[in-house]
Amino acid sequence: MRLHIFVEGLVQGVGFRAYTKRIADSYGLNGWVRNLPDGRVEIVVEGDNELLGHFIRDILKGPPAARVDKVEIIKEYSDEPIHTFDIRY
């Protein structure tokens, strides 16, 4: 399962991308995270459904300095797997 996630709130300049990578790595999930010009954070993540549920729970919390106001989650299917989790700039 692959999810495309958009996170709104105070999510840039607060370590959100590094936090996302740590969480994804801890669950063995693959994908990427990046800041968007409009202030949101974009995440593409794939892996086991149960682990993705834990990942989303942690993303809703965010790192201590962040404030998550809204999360949009889109389920996607792809025949090209991602093999790592990266921070994109």
CATH number for position 18: 3.30.70.100
Supply the range of the domain harboring residue 57: 2-72+79-87
Annotated active-site residue 35? The verdict is yes
* Res 30: pLDDT: 98
Cα–Cα nearest to 62, from 71, 53, 52, 74: 71
Annotated active-site residue 49? The verdict is no
Catalytic residue among 35, 40, 49, 67: 35
Catalytic residue among 2, 17, 40, 67: 17
Distances (CA, A) of 81 to 6, 13, 17, 45, 71: 20, 29, 21, 10, 23
- CA 37 to CA 30: how far, in whole Å? 23
Please tell me the total count of domains within the chain: 1
* Res 79: pLDDT: 85
* Res 46: pLDDT: 97
Reported as a single tens digit per residue, the pLDDT across 5-59 is 999 999 999 999 999 999 999 999 999 999 999 999 999 999 999 999 999 999 9
